[in-house]
Chain A
Amino acid sequence: MSASLTGSLTGSLAGSLAGVPPRPQPGTPRPYHFPAVHRHTVPNGVKVLVVPMPRLPIVTAMVYVDAGANADPAGEEGLALLTASSLTEGIAGCEGTQLVERFEQLGTVASVWADWEGSYARLTVLKEKLAPALELLAEVLRAPTFPRREVERLRDQRLAGLEQQLAEPRGLADERFDAFLYAPSMRYARPVGGTPQTVPRLTRDGVAAFHARHYGPATTTLVLVGDLTPEAGVQLASTAFGGWAHAAVRGPAVHDTPATIARRVVLVEKPDAPQSELRVGHVGVPRLHPDYLAIVVMNGLLGGFFSSRINLNLREKHAFTYGASSSFDWRRAAGPFTVGTAVKTEVTGRALEEILKEIDAMRAAPPSASELALAADYLAGVFPLRFESTAAVAGTVAMAESLGVPENFYSTYRERVRALTADEVHAAARTHLHPDQLLVLAVGDTATVAPMLDEMGLGPVTRVAAEFDPTEAS
């Protein structure tokens, strides 16, 4: 984005542009309000959050259970995800395809999964079929039968999926980055779904025990978003979930200790790879940190969207890559801060240099007013675009619940993003970017990439085979 180029073009073409409409001014913004959330608690303890969005005749129902991968017992990583995935495999008198068929005859698919914080079930359905769909959804949460054959099939599928993921450069880079980043005893060192070592240990009885321990009215929140009133939502929720009585406990507190804070380099060897997958970063910041918004804006400038520094540098200036970005993974404890890209093998070293330069530059000086406005206006402007669908609103409301995001966060978000100063954003970079603590990980061709990494002198270089998993090393 070179200003001089824009200037010279405008100058040389000024004559030929007579009569051409000039760049228009924006009109008057129309107000936007994040949809109101109506809260209610059913007498047995199930929380109900109803968000009317009456535009189209559909409703998303999303259940959040306050126990996710963070609650996996050590050595059984992946249990929360397997438990959630197995919910829709059976209820009394109805198993496997039969049960899935009942949802699908109502025109809906119940998605079930877990993340760090919670376990989830979600469906979107035409309004007139909401009541039977919600009854069925409640039944799979309250009384799943976990047929052994189906649970073991899902476990084996998960294992096959892991094998495939680890054969892909992208999946391998993502997983190994976390594995090298956190201390091996940390839950965050292993993926939500577990590893090839832990998944085979999961059993049908372990799944049933996880469900019995963590799924109950006290840990359950139902989010209903779409064409319904708060009263109708509460009524439906009470009918579907009101009779549920079962004591359950939340997941435990979670920790985020890094493996080391010394800068280091890992090369995961993939002979003859035409590209190097790069991940550069360190342990980031918990979601409820007071600097959250300043970090979001700072990361936006660094690599959070197309017009950010890292993407323009690596893609548009140097043509090293199809795309490059940075992100903070927001969790209850500190998730990773990561810069990620895939670059042509021959330029691996140069691309890493540019990434490190951009991290340093972000710390060296505050952003200009124009650049700050770019990030703030982008983030504030796209905010309503993120909430066009009932599923997106339900996901956000459930996420806020799981992470403890204050209720007024969304209604004040846009004003607060626009109010941030360059100094606050600069302070966020100085406080929360740590060039001396970076883990630099490359998945790529050893013969070409190893000499580059050695020569750069970023820190000790560890070369490992693609199969090597540091969380299993003793």
Chain B
Amino acid sequence: MQIPIETITLPNGLRVVLSEDHATPIVAVNLWYHVGSANERAGRTGFAHLFEHMLFQGSAQVGANEHFELIQRAGGTLNGSTWLDRTNYYETLPSHQLALALWLEADRMARLLPAMTQEKLDTQRDVVKNERRWSVDNQPYGTWWERLPALCFPPEHPFHHSLIGSMEDLTEASLEDVAAFFRTYYTPDNAVLTIAGDFDPTEARQLVERHFGAIPRGTGRPALPDMSLPPTFGGRRRQVVEDAVVAPRVFLAFRIPPAGDQAWYAAYLLSAVLGSGEACRLETALVREQAIATSANAYTYDLTKGSDLLVVDVTARPGTDPTALEVAVEREIDRMIVEGVGEMERRRALALLETAWVTELQSAGSRADALSKFATYHDDPTLLNAELARYATVSADEATAFARRYLIAENRATLLFVPQATEVAA
């Protein structure tokens, strides 16, 4: 399945991706800025995400929260999200409202700072602290997504520190930080703008040039430090965490080549054979046959810089001995190495992927986000149309060879959550 893709680059460096589809009168606007928590300076963990909140607090021509109100009045939906190395902003709306979305995105890219005030920063700081309490501190296992990267990446590595940030660092964030971050990273030459859905390409190009054309290019973002790491952890890592939970849960992470590398597609296939769908190895062995787990999944983090992670994530039944869980999970990994990937397993994984792929691309917002992703990470949005075929190029033997190289004991990092007051061997 191919979708139409057209790319333009404005003189100021803004890359624009257009993908027409007139099936329904809906258009999606999606902006990726190539900045995330990896770009934060020391002592400012969580700032990239706090900054994302500030982008909804108005700009020169837009009042506080008016961005939300105007899009919702237009009958649209919107949001933003922050990841380790990118931040995205997106809206989907009735197609005759395309100009409004572009005007709003351009006004905050060009003229955010006049609208920034101490009061808005203080409010959003508190909102984000509540987000942290809600999603991390008051949530069973909630700290896993800051503990796992901390365990897997060395302390000075840009992916090591917390994305949501520490309460202390959030408290320290200032308006000067907002201004500096904006000037450094929120520039047209550090962004990709994608429009997908029901629009007229000539009109869309004119609108983009009118609203974004005059925004000056940035002075160049500071390069991230060298993010390359040895191909494997080179030893076992293990952390045990007591938490307010009723059942043990283990995350077993492996260092793998970065997403986009040919070898990474073998890692994806392995993760699907192990933990995607219900007939996968982990679910069959741990949930069905041994009945010690309630859920068993495996996935890749999809990091494109330096290295990526393959993560096995298994939650035990309450009352399960945490060590027994750990042993059972590792036994399945060892079995994977010994037995290798079978052709039927490969076909099952690819068949599920193909259906999920087409299903996902039904949504204009998903198409736009995928195009922004390929343009940001690989500088070529047309890779989207070749992507599904790349997964299919991986043979069962290649996936087996990958398992034998990367799923080894010396490349395993274990994060084990246990109910409070549980004795576990360190």
Q: A residues touching B (Cβ–Cβ < 8 Å)?
A: 1-3, 5-6, 9-10, 13, 16-17, 19-32, 55-58, 96-97, 100-101, 104-109, 124-126, 150, 153, 156-157, 160-161, 163-164, 167-169, 273-275, 305-307, 312, 315-317, 319-322, 342-344, 373-374, 377-378, 380-385, 387-391
Contact = CB atoms under 8 A, between A and B. Distances in A.
Interface in B213-251: 214, 244-247
Contact of A57 (B111, B207, B214, B358): B358
B34 to A, nearest CB: 25
B344 A97 contact: no
A32 B94 CA distance: 10
B69 A388 contact: no
A30 B359 CA distance: 25
B358 A56 contact: yes
A307 B60 contact: no
Contacts of A3: 63
Given A56-B361, A58-B359, A388-B362, A306 B68 contact: yes
A326 to B, nearest CB: 16
Given A316-B123, A319-B123, A389 B140 contact: no
B69 A20 contact: no
Interface in B48-83: 58, 60-61, 63-66, 68-69, 72-77
Interface residues of B, number: 88
Interface string B118-160: 0000111111111101110111100000000000000000000
A156 B288 contact: no
Contacts of A342: 130, 133-134, 138
B72 A30 contact: no
Interface stretch (B23-31, B180-188, B332-340, B396-404): B23-31
Given A105-B348, A163-B246, A384 B58 contact: no
B277 interface: yes
B190 interface: no
A55 B287 CA distance: 38
A384 B24 contact: yes
Nearest to B60: A13
A7 B364 CA distance: 35
Q: Is the interface of B mostly helix, strand, loop or mixed?
A: helix
A373 B72 CA distance: 10
Interface of B: 1, 21, 23-26, 58, 60-61, 63-66, 68-69, 72-77, 92-100, 102-103, 106-107, 110-111, 114-115, 122-131, 133-135, 137-140, 198, 207, 210-211, 214, 244-247, 277-279, 284, 287-288, 291, 294, 315, 317-318, 344, 347-348, 351-352, 354-355, 358-359, 361-364
Given A58-B358, A274-B138, 7 more contacts: A26-B74, A30-B198, A32-B24, A164-B246, A168-B140, A319-B125, A342-B138
A310 B358 CA distance: 38
Contact of B96 (A22, A28, A58): A28
B352 A2 contact: no
B279 A388 contact: no
